[in-house]
Amino acid sequence: MAKVLFVISPQNFRDEEYFTPKKSLEDAGHTIETTSKTTGEIRGAGGGVAQVITPIAQINIDNFDGIVFVGGPGMIDFQNDPDFTQIAKKFFDAKKLVGAICVAPAILANAGILNGKKATSWSGAKETLDANGAVYTGQPVQIDGNIITADGPTSALEFGETLARALKS
């Protein structure tokens, strides 16, 4: 089974967008590791807690089959973070699965990997996707090649199930 890296903001990630897809992947037999800018306990906007052992700057992409960027109010300040955009590009260039939900597809757009690709996001990130050449669809979940994007917490379950199916194939 696959090993997937979940990327969260150092505080206030969106709980549903982390825990729901994580559970879908774990239920499908995949292993999840969570990373961020910092290590230790990171609290979501809804009070959930995630554990980060390895900071994103020390992640080796060769140890993973895919990456998922989680949205939430805390991620707004990290849309153009070099650690986040560079690792997104590395996973994409290695033809590994790249997923993002809510505001996080803006990270993929800023990494330059959504140019000409169909993608969706929270409406507040649409401008960033458009500015970076994405074909914004507004769908709950959008697949284009090895990229899977979703619009927000109401699509978290469908997003997780779509990721699990993609990793299976």
Block mean pLDDT (10 aa), the chain, length 169 = 97 98 98 98 98 97 98 97 98 98 98 98 97 98 98 98 94
Q: Please choose, from the candidates 86, 102, 77, 81, the residue with its C-alpha nearest in 3D space to the C-alpha of residue 156.
A: 102
All domains in the chain, ordered by first residue = 3-168 (3.40.50.880)
Q: What is the pTM of this model?
A: 0.98
Residue 49, pLDDT score:
98
Residue 41, pLDDT score:
98
Residue 156, pLDDT score:
98
Residue 169, pLDDT score:
75
- The tokens describing 64, both together, are 């993973």
Residue 18, pLDDT score:
98
Alpha helix (H) residue ranges in 46-137 = 82-93, 105-110, 126-131
Residue 147, pLDDT score:
98
- In the three-class reduction of DSSP (H, G, I as helix; E, B as strand; rest coil), residue 153 is classed as helix
120 backbone dihedrals φ, ψ, rounded to 5°: -135, 170
DSSP 126-149: HHHHHHTT-EE---SEEEETTEEE
